[in-house]
Structure 1
Amino acid sequence: MKKLFASLLAGALLLAPAFAQQPAPIDGIAVVVDEDVILQSELDRAVANIRAQYAGRTEQLPPPEVLERQVAERLVLLKLQIARANSTGVKVSSQEVEQTINAIAAQNQVSVDQLAAQLARDGTSLPQFRESIRDELLVQRLRQRLAQSQISVSDAEVDAALAAQQGSGMQYHLAHILVAVPEGATPEQIATAQSKIEGVQALIKRGEMDFAAAAVRYSDSPNALEGGDLGWRSSDEIPSAFAEMVRNMSPGQVTEPIRGPSGFQMLQVVESRDASQAAPSMVTQYHASHILIRVGENAGAAEAKAKADTLHARLVGGADFAALAREESQDPSSQARGGDLGWFARDQFGPDFGAEVAKLDDGAISAPFRTQAGWHIVKRVGTRQSDVGDTSQRDQVRETIGRRKLEDEWNRFLREMRGEAFVDFRTVAGAGDSDAGEGADGTRDTSGN
């Protein structure tokens, strides 16, 4: 959850104004993205925020025109994702935005008013921050929709991954550098890209630049400005082309360049750790049924709450919970079973839902309460202590395989969406092609690789 809020905060700040006290230049269109535009002021603010994040380390940033191109590409992808989310019916309610802002404030141990004051000191108004959070949530929901519709992990894949682990629980903190190659690249473009990554490799080997700084300056990956950081990965989450190499590497070592679907890559093992599974543990599980009234399907927020209140009154008056759930619940996965959710761990359906279930006594019915899914009424049936060690390990392996698949599919989705888009860079230097960059020798590479 902490990573989620940090990601939302970082993403939102990309679009948030950085130095409002500076005189505002005459605005203009920096980039045309299909039916939308990126204003020069948006681009300037985003670049200023990146520079602010690198205060005291500006020597790690690429030359101004390369940085501007990198940030412009980020904004292009963000615009495309938001447009796709809106066109496919992805919604984020105002209440969800406010809940996220409250959670970010709590994570930073400040009130919302204090968070607003802190943003204001940096030149960002709370309404602007709110809109940025909404955009970030839209993108996350678009990604979740892709995961639900495109990603599946079979039991056979889980079995194979468990067999491959052979008791090893090693995890690796990785970073990468990508030199992109466009689809249908010519032999000359491929050769230029290979020459570029070999030049970057030579700089790192000679000690003229560390890996993170090289990623910031030369990588074409969307996470270039984070030093190419990929975070912690288990063996199941590392592409097979790299997995065997990584297992035989020590922290600080860098792989040889490898050609992949999106271009040439190098990986660095930043750290490694043994995260072997602990002995099977006993956890509390709950058995409950619920009635769900969604917001926005057949009713707005007020109407949904009123309906939930009415149903709760009927239950208090003696109505049968299962019968009412079959009649009124809007959760298709449990409606036919009278709202029965079976046995589940406390946070399986989210922390808010779990907290409400945990407060009940067995046999008790909750008052209506709201989560992101809508308004719930819950009847707790029972509790038990369960040994979930083996199940937990399989679930974790399934999740890591799913994350790896989602990452591959999401990157393919972004490349496809970017390739199909009409993008016209009006003022961004050297950005006529999204793959244009600076050569490893410090010269500009305008070959499109």
Structure 2
Amino acid sequence: MGKQQYAEWNRWRALGLGLLLGLSVMTTVQAEPRLLDRLVAVVGNEAVMESELEQRLEQVRLQLNDRGVRPPPADQLRQQVLERLILDTIQLQQARQAGMRIDDQTLNATLNRIAQQNGLDLRSFSRQIEAEGLDFAQFREQIRQEMLIGQLRQRRVGERIQVSEQEINHYLSSPEAMEREGREFRVGHILLPLPENPTPEQTSQTFARAEALLARLNAGEDFQTLAVSSSSGDQALRGGDLGWRSALALPSLFADQVVTLRPGQNAGPFRSPSGVHLIQLLETRGGAQHLVQQTRARHLLVAVNALRDDAQAQAEARALHARIQAGETLADLARQYSDDPGSRQSGGELGWVSPGQMVPEFEQAMQQLAVGEVSQPVRSAFGWHVIQVEARREADMTASHRRQQVRQLLAERRFEEEVERWLREIRATTWVEVRG
């Protein structure tokens, strides 16, 4: 094992999987039985023993030593570690009460991943753990507990974090976002002026003119032609073209809107001291493009239910497939027989489907079909499907993909802060008695 790998392993020895999962906690490992043990706290209906606290203290000392950090006085360190042990116990209790569990298959996959990251197979990894003086079965359960706490936090804390569309817009027009993406925008602009102190009637009339121009643009009229004829802006005689600019160089009134538009889309009217504005995004450049292959498909579903077992559902799906092969259309049969209420009335039409939208079995079968081809019956958790591919296209999902990335980024930034708030809440609402 190389020096760098060994350092990584020492961190795992001290922290378990916490660092790998992004957790800030180290969960309880049942200590070896001792002749002498005593109760240090009661959490709900669970006892926390001195042996657990001592093992946790040893883990923390190892962690601090690996990082070159001098530990605080022993009594302060003990108090801190006991409080963290109490919080972990509360979280594990809540996870069990919610019926959450980490099955052996998921746990083994995680252990394999840890071993591979350390350049070992699982057997060698377990031997290395034993060589470090740790019991592999206990280590394995520690990993399970840390995964369980991570799963609980994702559920309980994740559902509390809401990122609004306005917040996404603000981030997309921020210096940070623009610096990351290197995007530039070519924007068309129409200005309808207002006097310095307009009356309500003048303002209303100007907005009405702007709405009428917007309707003409949305109906397909050329933006630059309308700008020449109607705009009072500085660039009116250039078709209102503001040229290539970063979002930071655009008027702030426009920036929040521009980053949400696709080329050819219009926005407005907006009010400013100089008047009422309409804009159109003419072009964009820079930034990574996110292209995906979309499939337009339809299907019919034969569900497994109280009246029809799996074998019967499969047999019915095969019979319907045979009728399609004989000349009937999947759309007609879906309207009559499909058990999918969301698509039945439209003849099984699913619209344009992007990767990841459908369950894996369905998507895998759909991707293997040629345009116009109908699949054999395909099993999923919902029942048996017969699928037909109608068309394929490459779609530019850059804007929606970017928005999803920003939503995730903003949620992750709030996660740790929200975890701390949630931990204080569950600590305050759980009965805890500290004995020593």
Describe the shift of the 1:353–1:160 C-alpha distance in structure 2 as closer, same or farther (beyond 3 A). farther
Q: Distance in 2 between matches of 1:355 and 1:287?
A: 12
Match of 1:100 in 2: 110
Matches within 5 A, 1:350-369: 360-362=368-370, 364=375
**Structure 1, residues 38-83: CA drift from partner, whole Å, max 9, x if none?**
2222221122122223445555322332222222222111111111
Q: Determine which of 282, 285, 292 is the counterpart of 2:291.
A: 282
**Structure 1, residues 140-166: CA drift from partner, whole Å, max 9, x if none?**
232232356433322222222223347
Match of 2:354 in 1: 344
Matched, 1:125 2:135: yes
Using the size of structure 1 for normalisation, the TM-score is: 0.51
Match of 2:88 in 1: 78
Matches within 5 A, 1:218-229: none
Describe the shift of the 1:286–1:42 C-alpha distance in structure 2 as closer, same or farther (beyond 3 A). farther
Which of 1 and 2 has higher RCO (CA within 8 Å, sep 6+)? 1
Q: Determine which of 149, 153, 156 is the counterpart of 1:139.
A: 149
Q: Where does the alignment leave 5 or more consecutive residues of structure 1 unmatched?
A: 172-276, 299-306, 428-449
**Structure 1, residues 323-348: CA drift from partner, whole Å, max 9, x if none?**
99964x8xx999999695952345x7
Q: Answer yes or no: is the 8 Å Cα contact 2:294–2:393 preserved in 1.
A: yes
Match of 2:432 in 1: 423
Match of 2:411 in 1: 402
Q: Distance in 2 between matches of 1:82 and 1:336?
A: 46
Q: Distance in 1 between matches of 2:394 and 2:379?
A: 27
Q: Answer yes or no: is the 8 Å Cα contact 2:39–2:49 preserved in 1.
A: yes
Q: Distance in 2 between matches of 1:396 and 1:418?
A: 33
Q: Which has the larger radius of gyration?
A: 2
One-letter amino acid of the counterpart of residue 433, structure 2: D
Q: Distance in 2 between matches of 1:99 and 1:290?
A: 35
**Structure 1, residues 218-269: CA drift from partner, whole Å, max 9, x if none?**
xxxxxxxxxxxxxxxxxxxxxxxxxxxxxxxxxxxxxxxxxxxxxxxxxxxx
Match of 2:397 in 1: 388
Describe the shift of the 1:11–1:405 C-alpha distance in structure 2 as closer, same or farther (beyond 3 A). closer
- CA drift of 1:33 comes to 1.2
- CA drift of 1:415 comes to 0.8
Describe the shift of the 1:75–1:106 C-alpha distance in structure 2 as closer, same or farther (beyond 3 A). same
Q: Distance in 2 between matches of 1:413 and 1:10?
A: 14
One-letter amino acid of the counterpart of residue 406, structure 2: V
- CA drift of 1:309 comes to 8.2
Q: Answer yes or no: is the 8 Å Cα contact 2:335–2:344 preserved in 1.
A: no
- CA drift of 1:10 comes to 7.2
Q: Answer yes or no: is the 8 Å Cα contact 2:161–2:411 preserved in 1.
A: yes
Q: Where does the alignment leave 5 or more consecutive residues of structure 2 unmatched?
A: 1-16, 182-285, 322-329
Matches within 5 A, 1:14-163: 14-16=27-29, 24=34, 26-55=36-65, 57=67, 59-147=69-157, 149-163=159-173
Q: CA RMSD in A?
A: 4.9
- CA drift of 1:416 comes to 1.0
Q: Answer yes or no: is the 8 Å Cα contact 2:158–2:415 preserved in 1.
A: no
Describe the shift of the 1:158–1:101 C-alpha distance in structure 2 as closer, same or farther (beyond 3 A). same
One-letter amino acid of the counterpart of residue 7, structure 1: L
Q: Distance in 1 between matches of 2:100 and 2:23?
A: 22
Describe the shift of the 1:43–1:418 C-alpha distance in structure 2 as closer, same or farther (beyond 3 A). same
- CA drift of 1:380 comes to 8.4
- CA drift of 1:30 comes to 2.2
Match of 1:7 in 2: 20
One-letter amino acid of the counterpart of residue 389, structure 1: T
